[in-house]
Amino acid sequence: MGRGSYALQDGNLDTQRLWTRPEQYRRPHLHFESRFESGNLKRAARLGETTYDLELSEDINTMGNTQWFYFAVDNMQAGVEYQFCIVNLLKAESLYNDGMQPITYSTIAKETNGTGWVRAGENVCYFHNHLRISGKTLVNRTKSDAASNFYRTLSFHYTCKHDGDTVYFAHCYPYTYTRLQKELDRLEHGENGVKILRSELCVTIAGNRVEVLFVCDPDVDAAALETRPSMLLVARVHPGETQGSFMVKGAMEFLIGDDEDARYLRSQYKIYIIS
């Protein structure tokens, strides 16, 4: 496992094991870690000096969906090209075949020049592999595709630029529950007297609150609200689509601002947000 602390946020996931026999290889094996908030990597297997197969944990309470990955790697050598293959993905097609790259975060780059999350990776491809799916209900597949009943692999190469670096890899920019709570605490009192009223919609099986937010002016007339149409914004329909959280964060900041359009929306609609 990794040498140091990887806890960007607090979290608790199953321990990963690295299956490897280092005496067979000239280069040291890599250290993988995902025991931090929003992290996801179930296990890693070393196939060669610089090639690793990776398996993700499935989304909880689903029929086996796997999309989100987020893990840290250290013990890489500068200038060496490594290949990572995530082997248990389910989507029939992916934007990774249309130019999309994983998101990466180098701790040394952040410390030396302030660079944070960036798209990186070469030879990115997404393809049908030889691992058969069993006991799962597949969705969004054609009949011929469903008949094949095999997992998909996301493969990409990465060349580390610094010895001693810890590099994080993710499907998209992470947006954690802790970050959401901090943003809501900051925005709750609003600007220009605008309020964000928070109430609990439900509690997830992990014990996290799912909140409904109501945006309104402080002097709004309760009777007048009853006749207004409602507007609903939803951030995360699927757990791995963190871009929805960033979109709703921007929408909330806009809606509580003093922009003319924001004032108009607050005066004409009941605005609800599921964050």
Cα–Cα separations (whole angstroms), residue 17 to 34, 115, 219: 11, 30, 57
- Residue 124 is predicted with a pLDDT of 98
Q: Is the dihedral of CA 69, 75, 81, 85 positive or negative?
A: negative
- Is residue 160 scored above 80 in pLDDT? yes
**Is 98 strand, coil or helix?**
helix
- Residue 143 is predicted with a pLDDT of 45
Please report the domains of the chain, with CATH numbers, ordered by start residue.
18-170 (2.60.40.3120), 177-274 (3.40.630.10)
- Residue 221 is predicted with a pLDDT of 84
- Residue 136 is predicted with a pLDDT of 57
Averaged over 90-117, what is the pLDDT?
Answer: 96
d(CA 79, CA 52): 17
Averaged over 201-206, what is the pLDDT?
Answer: 88
What's the pTM value of the predicted model, to 2 decimals?
Answer: 0.84
Per the prediction, the chain carries an average pLDDT of 86
